[in-house]
Chain A
Amino acid sequence: MTLPIRDTYLQARRRAIAAAVLAVTLLALVVVGLLSGAVAVSPADLVTMLERSLGITDDPAQLTDSVLWAIRLPRVLSAAVVGGGLGVAGAGLQGTFRNQMADPQLVGISPAAGLGAVVGIALTPAGGAPLIMMIGAGVGAVAAGLAMRRIAKRVIESNQFILVGLALGLAMLAWLGAIVLAWDSPRVPTFTFWVFGGLAGSTWSTLASGAPFVLAGCVVVAASARSLDLLALGESEARHIGVDVDRVIPRILIGVGLAVGGAVGLGGAIGFVGLMTPLLMRRWVGPAHRWLVPLSALAGAAIVVAVDILARTVAAPVEIPVGLLTAILGAPVFVWFLLRVGRSST
């Protein structure tokens, strides 16, 4: 099944360059992320650790090994997974709702994931296991995505849709806050985590529970790339050319929900990444989702890894929540976008 239009040479080159640049940037940021932090780690330490883990050298293990292996690597990888998941989720949401302002946080899906995670922990007696939290977050996010689909059918104005999502999101955040603050249990991450995110708690165990959700969600969204393209025509227009929108859209939203659930379970509420990433990538590589979705994954991963490095180092030894930085950096982009849209539509 191929689109009867082939990419032009220029388009193909542009996309290949973008993919290469993003992949190299992400890799470089992962290395920088491993090297930066309170305990000084040199590139040589990194190489020796790699050699040791591959059995190439017999040098005795050092302190830096455990810092790298037990703390930094799961954290950097979590940042990448969270960013990738949010980037893909944003691309999926913007495509599904034909609304370039759609973002997991703005349309209430991230808050629903947080609420789901907390309810999940509260309902399970032995609660607190990362997997329980991820399942709760996934269920909450999927439910919110499907609910927003019903709401989108009733509202025509795209701004109204965002406002409804924002209001529902704030309500869910309030409920979440009420539970977290009233319960005050060490089993539940702090309210700050649910509002501004944070990757300080990343371990191999949280990563192993959350990453499969994000990965599954990304695969579902990426596999729907063609449908997302056709949905750009409008929902009824897509139906007229044979797209079963009542099956395709819920499927995409389930994918988005799984990705957001995993991302929120791992990193809490990190806003604006799902919004900015697809917006920037669309300008770079165009709107075709078979490129937009995977490149949003790479770019989102790079952004969150980079922001997490800032979060750890800018005010060291104090750590700034990642979501706080993404909001500080992302909100102006959002405002710029709103103003630009406002100008071009008049």
Chain B
Amino acid sequence: MKPMVRAEDVRYRRGNATVLDLVSLSTGAGEILSIVGPNGAGKTTLLRILAGDLIPSTGRAWVQDVDTSQTTLQHLSRMRAYLGPRGVADNPFTVREVVAMGRYPHRSAMLEAGEHEAIVESAMERTDVHHLASRPIDTLSTGEQQRAGLARVIAQETPVLLLDEPTSALDIGHQETMMSVLNSLAREGTTIVTSLHDLNLAAAHTDRVLLLHEGRTVSVGSPSQVFTSESLSNVYRQTIEVTPHPHRDCPLVLTVPEMPQAPAS
């Protein structure tokens, strides 16, 4: 299958620090790849390189067949959408206006009069913000802003979605809704690369996982391949147990208390 998003031996330096070191990845159409790892592992940097925001020090990144450091902003805006962890920054525009801004890359597309509107309305419905459509963004809660942000990138209608912590401000119910929206987008053919802090969301809802630690790839593969007690405990410096999920066909990640030291005799 032709890869939709690809990175090859990407290295990124900031000053003297190597933020990413020889990271590679490749995803096909309709696949959800999650990037996980502790704070500072390089997840956001990797996403921003894929988005074309940052140019790798060495190595290259492609969206479809286009090198993201070699193309125009306009071209990129029709190939990939990017959602930062804040969803959408505080601003006085309404949810509907902000979601409509996602249509900007397609402003010259030959669409029937109502088509842009229809896309905007359905994007708001998918992320459950339709009832907030006329509310200014800066009156919403962080979680609502995150959902409005997702509606905006859905309205952008790109084959690739790059999401940075899209669930960080969501309650457990909206986390599930968010992940099932991503799954339905993937079934329609959208390729999704998302960083996630919640390992169980990654395990339950994403096809493949890339585990990063200090800028390097620890492992990449299906959740059950990547999530092992040993490697997670190593990476997160915390005793972690992985068991089969009682109701889903995926691993369940649990933290367990540190073993008390045997008293000295």
Q: Give chain A's interface residues, CB within 8 Å of chain B.
A: 1-6, 98, 229-230, 232-234, 236-237, 239-244, 282, 286-288
On whether the beta carbons of B53 and A239 are closer than 8 Å, the reply is yes
Tell me which of A4, A98, A239, A242 contacts B89 (CB under 8 A).
A98
On whether the beta carbons of A244 and B73 are closer than 8 Å, the reply is yes
- Known: A5-B117, A233-B89. Contact between A242 and B101, CB under 8 A? no
On whether the beta carbons of A4 and B103 are closer than 8 Å, the reply is yes
- Known: A241-B104, A241-B105, A242-B74. Contact between A232 and B92, CB under 8 A? yes
On whether the beta carbons of B84 and A241 are closer than 8 Å, the reply is no
Tell me which of A98, A233, A239, A287 contacts B73 (CB under 8 A).
A239
Q: Is the interface of A mostly helix, strand, loop or mixed?
A: loop
Query: What residue in chain B is nearest A240 (Cβ atoms)?
Result: B82
Most buried by B among A3, A236, A242: A242
On whether the beta carbons of B98 and A233 are closer than 8 Å, the reply is yes
CA distance in complex: A5, B96 (Å): 8
Tell me which of A1, A240, A287 contacts B51 (CB under 8 A).
A240
Determine how close the nearest CB of chain A comes to the CB of B164; give it in whole angstroms: 11
On whether the beta carbons of A229 and B73 are closer than 8 Å, the reply is no
Q: Is the interface of B mostly helix, strand, loop or mixed?
A: helix
CA distance in complex: A290, B105 (Å): 19
On whether the beta carbons of A240 and B100 are closer than 8 Å, the reply is no
Tell me which of A236, A242, A287 contacts B93 (CB under 8 A).
A287
The residues in B between 73 and 106 inclusive whose CB is less than 8 angstroms from any CB of A are 73-74, 76-78, 81-82, 84, 88-89, 91-93, 96-98, 100-105
On whether the beta carbons of A242 and B73 are closer than 8 Å, the reply is yes
CA distance in complex: A232, B92 (Å): 8
Could you write out 23 A-B pairs with CB less than 8 Å apart?
A: A4-B100, A4-B103, A5-B120, A229-B93, A229-B97, A232-B89, A232-B92, A233-B98, A233-B152, A234-B84, A236-B84, A240-B77, A241-B77, A242-B73, A242-B74, A242-B76, A242-B78, A242-B104, A242-B105, A282-B92, A286-B92, A287-B93, A288-B97
Determine how close the nearest CB of chain A comes to the CB of B252; give it in whole angstroms: 35
CA distance in complex: A187, B53 (Å): 51
Determine how close the nearest CB of chain A comes to the CB of B259; give it in whole angstroms: 42
On whether the beta carbons of B120 and A4 are closer than 8 Å, the reply is yes
Known: A5-B120, A240-B81. 5 other contacts (CB 8 A): A233-B101, A241-B102, A241-B104, A241-B105, A242-B74
B174 at the binding interface (Cβ < 8 Å): no
Residues of B within 8 A of A6 (CB): 117
Determine how close the nearest CB of chain A comes to the CB of B166; give it in whole angstroms: 14
Residues of A within 8 A of B78 (CB): 242
CA distance in complex: A98, B73 (Å): 21
Query: What residue in chain A is nearest B89 (Cβ atoms)?
Result: A234
CA distance in complex: A287, B96 (Å): 13
CA distance in complex: A211, B98 (Å): 36
Tell me which of B76, B77, B91 contacts A232 (CB under 8 A).
B91
